[in-house]
Amino acid sequence: MHLKRYRFFDVGADHYYYNDYANDVTLTDMVQRSYMPALQTLLQLCENNNKQFKVAFSISGVTLEQLEIYASEVIVILQKLNKTGCVEFIAEPYSHGLSSLANEKCFVEEVKRQSKKIKELFGKKPTILRNSSLLYSDEIGEMVNKMGFKAVLTEGAKQILGWKSPHYLYHCANAPKLKLLLRDYKLSDDICLRFNNNSWSEFPLTASKYTDWLSSLPEGENVINIFMELQAIGVMQPLDSNILEFFKALPQEAAQRGIRFATPSEIVKENDSVAPLEVPYPLTWNDEERDTSSWLGNDLQREAFNKLYSVAERVYMCNDRRIKMDWDYLQGSANFRFMNTKSSAENMNRGIYESAYDAFTNYMNIIADFIKRVDALYPEGIENDELNSLLTTIRNQDDEIKILETKLGNALAALEHFNQPEDKEAANKDTAVAKNELGAKEKKVTTKKAKKTASKKSKKKGSVVENKKAKPTN
């Protein structure tokens, strides 16, 4: 999501933070240059190779939303791919954000929401998870395990593997049931970073050369995980570099050398873990360091991150649709990446921003407005726990009213049944009366409940309840 230029004098005045034009243009451009040709080729591969070619997709909920708005043809082709049976969809946080580092509740909620969206679109609930940019640590592993996922995809980074090979299945040190699939960054980057680089010693890379490398791996190294962004085809490697031809030739070349394709869940099913893998510090596929430093490397980024997640609990509790939506969009990890000040990021594309400070300023202004809106939902003085219990009471109250309403409805129906033998006019009158009665009773019920709760709490808290009181009658 591209944020728009948001000055501090917009705070409190303008609650729309996005640059729709940029979103439309960049996404359509990306779809035309990369997603459509790439997916069409993958579709051909899935259809033509006797179900030998397999591929898995991980798409964030926000991206799916954007595709639905600006490029629904991508969703259609993904559904076609899904029908071939060679494709698996993977769960990830809805926002492509960093909630796994900040707030467990939010993380779980987001992942569930994205899984639900995948199920709606493609009919199957994901069983494998990949966090934003392959972000993973032992703690995240525990959370993911609790959610019931079978495996997580992450980076086969040198600092955690050491002498070990990424070509095996591992498991989480804190949750042995959760398997880890590690990206082979060398073999992945050969395709997505170096394919078209003519100063690379292996240039040009052909499918037969690539599969030769795979088949010459030591015995027992059975699992080779190749993950990359979809824009590797068409954007990072332009189409005229013959990247599509490379992919088209892969299945045959692989079959000749006895190499099979598999989706992550097939791998987890067919292989056993060889060892636990300890990842005390978060790991990602970003930069040379493979850590979170490109998002949270400097004080600016950490400040923005802390400010955003300081309202996580409140956002989690609220029901405001706009706030929930903004929450998804504001969490996007790119927002933090734009504030990167590492020397390797000097020439990075910062979107509309001229510098890291510009990115920080703009984002903080937006956050300031967002936090104001969140704070306006509930009085600031109340502790989150207390607020939560109050909200539960209110919600329960809703249910209770519904039960009472149905009971009342039944009673009225019975009454009507009792009066049926009389003439129509009378019956009409009766129902009118009954309706009035219903209205009156409903009001009574509400006020009673409201009074009860209000009397229990102090004045301030009473006002929360009153705010919400209108809801049941609406």
In the complex, the residues that contact other proteins under the rule CB under 8 A are 7-9, 11, 298-300, 302-304, 341, 346, 354-355, 357-358, 360-362, 364-365, 368
Shortest Å distance, C-beta 14 to other proteins: 13
Q: Which is nearer to other proteins, 32 or 355 (CB)?
A: 355
Shortest gap between Cβ of 286 and other proteins (angstroms)?
21
Sequence-ordered list of residues with C-beta below 8 angstroms from that of 82, at least 6 positions apart, any chain: 89, 122, 123, 124
Smallest gap from Cβ 292 to other proteins, in A, equals 17
For the bound state, the minimum distance from the C-beta of residue 288 to other proteins, rounded and expressed in Å, comes to 21
H or E stretch at 335: helix 334-337
Which CB, 206 or 361, lies closer to other proteins? 361
Three-state DSSP at 226 gives: coil
Angle formed by the axes of helices 243-256 and 207-215, to 10°?
40
Specify the residue, 9 or 163, whose C-beta has the smaller distance to other proteins: 9
Residue 364 C-beta: closest distance to other proteins, Å: 5
Residue 359 C-beta: closest distance to other proteins, Å: 11
* Residue nearer to other proteins on the CB measure, 299 or 416: 299
Instruction: Name residue 183's beta-bridge partners.
Output: 155, 225
* Closer residue to other proteins, CB minimum distance, 8 or 418: 8
**Which residue, 368 or 438, has its beta carbon nearer to other proteins?**
368
SS3 content of the chain, % helix, strand, coil (to 5): 60, 10, 35
Range 324-339 burial, b when 16+ CB lie within 10 A, else e: eebbbbbbbbebbbbb
CA distance 464 to 462: 5
Q: Would you say 229 or 299 has its CB closer to other proteins?
A: 299
Angstrom distance (rounded) from CA 39 to CA 122: 16
Q: Which helix (H) or strand (E) holds 189?
A: helix 185-192
Residue closer to other proteins (CB basis): 227 or 338: 338
CB of 366 to other proteins, least distance (A): 12
Nearer to other proteins, 231 or 298 (CB): 298
- Closest by CA position to 464, among listed 317, 261, 270: 317
Maximum CA extent, the chain: 96
Instruction: Calculate the alpha carbon distances from 212 to 52, 160, 194, 248, 363 in Å.
Output: 18, 27, 17, 16, 48
Q: How far is the CB of 20 from other proteins (least distance, A)?
A: 21
Q: How far apart are CA 386 and CA 453, in angstroms?
A: 13
Q: Which residue reads 């966090």 in tokens? A: 131
Distance of CA 17 to the CA centre of its chain: 19
d(CA 367, CA 23): 20
**Minimum gap (Å) between residue 353 Cβ and other proteins:** 11
